[in-house]
Chain A
Amino acid sequence: MDSALLVHRLHFAFTVTFHYLFPQLTMGLAPLIVVLKTLALRRNDELYNQAARFWARIFGINFIMGVVTGIPMEFQFGTNWSHFSRFAGGVIGQTLAMAGMFAFFLESAFLGLFLYGEKRLSPKAHWWSAVAVCAGSWLSGFFIVATDAWMQNPVGYAKSADGSVQLSSFWELVLNPWAWWQYAHNMSGAVITGAFAMASVGAFYLLWGQYKEHGRIFVRVGVVAGLIFAVLQLFPTGDGQGRMVAHNQPTTLAAMEALFESAPGAPLVLIGQPDVPQRKIDNPVILPKMLSFLTYRRWEAEVKGLNAFPPDTWPDNIPLLYYTYHMMVGLGTIFIATMVIAALLLWRGTLFNARWMLWILLLSLPFPYIANTAGWITAEIGRQPWLVYGLMRTSDGYSKLVSAGNGLFTLLGFMGMYTVLGILFLFLVRREIESGPTTQPGTAH
């Protein structure tokens, strides 16, 4: 691989992966904070207000990390991927510009009111500011996902004389079926991160024996939301997304499943290590015929393997794709199991005393992050070797005049900068959690 291409790919991969650690919590926590604010209004209970304020403080720290790491994403379309931008800007410029006009303005304007305006606003107005922040973050999610969805499944475009593509139908772009499945799947994944974070902090307080009343609220809201969205993550959103891939990107599906040969009644591989040169899977644990059923709803349906496609259209890193996909699915299954058990205990009224389950909730915090990241790697590695599926190869899209040396210089710079940001984030969130939900802003620190 051309080393400049590699550097530019790593540059985007690194910055976007780090960036998305924050928006997933922003988008996941926002609706949960609205839930807490609603409960506070309905029950007129200060406890819920404290709970909402506590999560708003963490939300604030998280949000600022998302903002500062988000600005480079928009820039990199021009700086590192200029040939792609010239090619596709006439189409995806629409969704990217709309993200700014409709979502970022809304989010940033009301975030200030939401975080710092509680004493200036009536409780109702403050509730509305929380709803506006939530709506802004969910809208930004849509426009960004719609941009990616166009790269996965280009629609609503026409080729123009200079070789670029231009918008031909706005509604086709916005109503791209890929965008809606991917959006549903992605947002549900974000709420899972938010729900696990809330349940995890609640479990921590209960195990610690401090702020137990708040801890119970956090665990209850986290487990209920976690259960709902862990199930939605599998069905219908995960199933819909999967069949979308099977239909539009059959090569990607074959590589995700490491299905080297086409076969009727294809098995689903649960565990195993793909050996691409030998075209086989080592140590496989399989469910016979399951892949055919999941993909086509028929046990004997034929699923196309990699051998059905020319090797130069295979994703260029099949093992990584296979592993991230299997991690995502495996973790998603574990999330459902965890939340079903926790919800059963909650229903029977024994969850808050079941220390073993609280430990599981506490320690589960990192896994939704891993699953969401693995899911995005699956989507992006799975699209390779295409930058825009079927239209532009990744190797044609980067900035040809920005040398590998210049790219590496800034990649290393971002790595250093993000290490500092990550440390600061963990340090500040740890302080918030330790000082607890009863702290009043402006008095304790």
Chain B
Amino acid sequence: MPTVWFMIVSVMIAAYVVLDGFDLGAGIIYLGAARTTDERRKILRSIGPVWDGNEVWLLAAGGTLYFAYPQLYASAFSGFYLPLMMVLWLLMLRGIGIELRSQMENPVWQGFFDVVFCLSSALLAIFFGAALGNVIRGVPLRPDGYFFEPLWTNFRLGPHPGILDWYTILAGVVALVTLTAHGALYVTLKTDGELGGRARKLALTVWPLQLVLTLVSLVATWFVRPSIKENYLAYPIGFLIPLVVFASLGLMFVAIRRGKELQAFLASCVYITGMLVGAVFALYPVVLPASTDPAYNLTIYNSAAGHHGLSVGLVWWTLGMILSLGYFVFVYRMFRGKVRLETESAAADVGPGDGPPHHVQGRAQSPIR
């Protein structure tokens, strides 16, 4: 039972990173890729109807984590106290940045929220990456299962590291670059014209960096946590994961070059999922390794909720998931196709890859006015 929930929580976290990842990424490239007011509107419109739903995955994954592994939730959330609070502030700033910007047609107002949106998106990507880095590297757990990590100590590994050391900073940079590419590919997919072209070019420029960072992070992880190889050696099928990661990265490049926007975006989704699955596969059954003593590791066994609760949860979780997937498919279908602004003439819009006619007529309603 704890293993089932381990998989469920992992899937939910991966869904969050893939989904909210593209709107975070759209935020990261926002100031760079979109030059005119109309282009900025287009980016915001492309994520407007979905970003909040994407962020709910964080809440739902958090809630499920709390439900399945209360001990892990308690330890990790109190131990990562300061960075989590900062993540909260950034999430808030970003949410109001997206939603309140369109409330006033004033360049000063909009300029302010543009910067808020872009900066908070970039910082969130780095924070999430660093958080994952912390989980892989391990935290100074005490015998009672709690810890408290300061933001930084000496930036080195050791039994008492800070939230930020060279490894977690590296993880943050990997996340930043990955989500930049992810967001750029989403914007390429959802927009056209100069903006779409610029986003595509950005994804191409970032690609070599992404490749190098993937390799570096792999080597660094091997160095930081040599025990990751154990699960892979025990279950050699796991070696498929890095294979998938590199294959999707390669496919991404080819697809961008050939202008296959959807393929490129999906490849990026697979890449992100692969990276996360690779990490999770290596950790299992540990959920939070201790840098102090492996005996203090939090595992799926010593941090799980009671058996009855987990069994009952399986019933309602399945039901809830089916319902939620239904809503998601429905909403994404409603807002499918390239983003159009009312100001653009319908005739100029018709082009390859356009959605059904009613989209072309510029009737898309979205928060971004």
- The chain A residues found within 8 Å of chain B, CB to CB, are 60-61, 64, 67-69, 71-72, 74-75, 77-80, 82-83, 85-86, 88-91, 93-94, 96-102, 104-106, 108-113, 115-121, 158, 160, 164, 166-168, 170, 399-402, 406, 409-410, 413, 417, 421, 424, 428, 431, 441-442, 445
Contacts and interface: CB of A to CB of B under 8 A. Distances in A.
Contact of B64 (A100, A110, A116, A406): A100
A165 B16 CA distance: 30
B243 interface: no
B146 A68 contact: no
Nearest to B48: A116
21 contacts: A60-B99, A64-B96, A68-B96, A71-B55, A74-B63, A77-B66, A78-B73, A79-B81, A82-B75, A82-B146, A85-B70, A89-B71, A93-B73, A105-B53, A116-B367, A119-B363, A170-B309, A401-B146, A409-B82, A410-B85, A417-B92
Nearest 3 A/B pairs, CB to CB: A89-B70, A78-B77, A166-B306
State the majority secondary structure of interface residues on B: helix
B81 A399 contact: yes
B238 to A, nearest CB: 29
B68 A93 contact: yes
B320 A78 contact: no
B85 A108 contact: no
B320 A98 contact: yes
Contact of B334 (A93, A98, A113, A445): A113
Given A109-B327, A109-B331, A421-B96, A82 B60 contact: no
Interface residues of B, number: 71
Contacts of B324: 101, 105-106, 109
Given A82-B146, A417-B89, 9 more contacts: A64-B52, A64-B99, A64-B100, A67-B52, A77-B66, A109-B324, A112-B53, A117-B49, A428-B100
Interface string B66-97: 11101101111111111011001101100110
A91 B305 CA distance: 8
Contacts of A67: 52, 55, 95
B328 interface: yes
Nearest to B96: A68
A441 B365 CA distance: 9
Interface in B316-369: 316-317, 320-321, 323-324, 327-328, 330-331, 334-335, 342, 358, 363-367, 369
Contacts of B202: none
Contact of B56 (A60, A108, A119): A108
Contacts of A417: 89, 92
Interface of B: 48-50, 52-53, 55-56, 58-60, 62-64, 66-68, 70-71, 73-82, 84-85, 88-89, 91-92, 95-96, 99-100, 103-105, 145-148, 305-306, 308-309, 312-313, 316-317, 320-321, 323-324, 327-328, 330-331, 334-335, 342, 358, 363-367, 369
B92 A117 contact: no
B46 to A, nearest CB: 13
Contact of B96 (A410, A424, A442): A424
B67 A111 contact: no
A85 B104 contact: no
B23 to A, nearest CB: 12
Given A79-B84, A97-B67, A104-B56, A166 B309 contact: yes
B77 A166 contact: no
Contact of A109 (B53, B104, B321): B53
A78 B50 CA distance: 27
Nearest to B306: A166
Nearest to B88: A72
A93 B369 contact: no
State the majority secondary structure of interface residues on A: helix
A164 B309 CA distance: 13
Contact of A112 (B52, B145, B320, B364): B52
B52 A101 contact: no
A113 B342 CA distance: 18
A102 B369 CA distance: 31
Interface centre among B64, B66, B320, B321 (most CB of A within 10 A): B66
B146 A109 contact: no
Given A77-B73, A89-B305, A101-B321, A170 B67 contact: no
Contacts of A160: 306
Contacts of B103: 61, 428, 431, 445
Interface centre among B73, B89, B145, B364 (most CB of A within 10 A): B73
A109 B78 contact: no
A105 B16 CA distance: 13
Given A78-B78, A79-B77, A417-B89, A93 B309 contact: yes
Given A113-B334, A166-B309, A410-B82, A85 B73 contact: yes
B365 A119 contact: yes
B92 A68 contact: yes
A112 B48 contact: yes
B60 A97 contact: yes
B326 to A, nearest CB: 9
Contacts of A69: 92
Contacts of A86: 70-71, 74-75, 145
Contacts of B96: 64, 68, 421, 424
Contact of A413 (B80, B85, B100, B309): B85
